[in-house]
Structure 1
Amino acid sequence: MGSSPSSGFFHYRNVLIVLNVFYLIVALILIGAPAAAIASAKFTSVPIVAGVIASGVFLFLVAVLGLVGAAKHHQVALFFYMILLGIVFIILFAVSVAAVAVTSSQQQTLAAKAWNASSLKTQKEIQTLFNCCGFKKSDTSPNRKSCLDLKCCTSTVGALKSNSTEKPSNISTNSPTTPSHGAATIHPPQYCLSCPGCFDKLEKEIHKAFKVGGGVGLFFSFTELIGLILTIYYRNRKDPSANPNAFL
């Protein structure tokens, strides 16, 4: 026994409502997660936190627009919802494909640009969180002075001081000192060359983040495509409870 036109109308409406409730939950997570990170003092970078929260707010507004349009079969709300959902789908799909297809060398280049563009405060937070120093271990920039309080720096320097048969003054603050007779090099504390670089330590995690992030983005983009197609069908259907002589 075939389904009636009215059952198809309510089917499309219910699916759209469920889909937009799902978007609302994701939006609330995007808004709440940065707040939790700030509260725990794990990460307080204002630009990154603001960007994630802004994305969550935008998705929240789009989801509310979709819920209103689906629940009331509001033609104007559904029209703008279709436009916004189509734009988000194109952007998210393009970014997700790029994230999945990016090579390891491109990942390092992008990570280096992001590191250089970040503030010293953000860099220190990353270094403290992951116990690493600088972008690469070969980096000997003056910014490595911010690594002095890291465990990987203080423990190694202390061990070098206690194990060295020479006076502590041999640990220079200006340039590396190489003891004679093939002894190991004692690096100046401000360089903390015993600490791994943050990219060296997080390279596998960054690679995984690109792939997982791209995969999740593709999943969300296809849910948006499904939502867009459902909205088009739903918008062009007649509401069984409305005046049959009213214009669709």
Structure 2
Amino acid sequence: MLKIPYSYNIYHDFIESYLPSGFLNIDSQDPIICKLESLMEENDQMLIVMDLTQLTIIYTSKRSMDMLGIEPETNDPLKMMSKVHPEDLHRFGLGRSKLMDLDKNLYIAHKGAALLSTDIRMLRPDGEYAKHLFQCYMFYSPIPHESVYYIQVNTNIEEYIMHKATFHYYVGDDITLFRFPTDELLNIGHYLTHREFEIIHMISKGLNSEEIAEKLFISVHTVNTHRRNILGKTEKGHISDVIFDLMGKGLL
């Protein structure tokens, strides 16, 4: 599907219109909603609105049926998780944990906004998997009750050009990155390949090179080469420094 870039200001217009009601009773005939649905249809996208503090999905756009086979009115966090590719479940779970950390920080500060953005493979209605960009924009609001709200835009990014060995990942307060996806945006990512990330995860669990080699059916020499490459890429002096950094970013 040919993507047609558009301004994400429409999502901020949507927030301004429906935040006072807590995103309840969203009118499908509202011009903003009609425009959003049209843009998402053109660009293979869907929208989820969540009260992050109460862990409640308030609204899901109708395109969740086309992209995931989930009826909008019945969507919940468990249904979303059930659609995640098994190999991405661990990273998906870590992302959820990081969202909870961000929610806590915003709630305690009583102000601010943050963004978590990554790609996850999701099950399509036809039984195949497609790579989705998850753009999770969250913000504190004192109305209609004190909470942290969460706007998630999912985009099918199968046709984008990404570094195949790595994954896109951003977490922080640069809200300018909440914008229509481009190849440049998607290649803001992690410096580790999937295999390097797998090895660093095993090291964090206490496995040594011999145990990792046995589990991955590779040689100890290959494991140690990956370890040296990890230190070279990250410019860290020790693997423990890499692990600490990844934990801080919600990746371990």
Structures share a fold, TM > 0.5?
A: no
Structure number with greater Rg is 1
Q: Pick the structure with more strand per residue.
A: 2
Which structure is higher in RCO with an 8 Å CA cutoff and minimum separation 6?
A: 1
TM-score when scaled to structure 2?
0.21
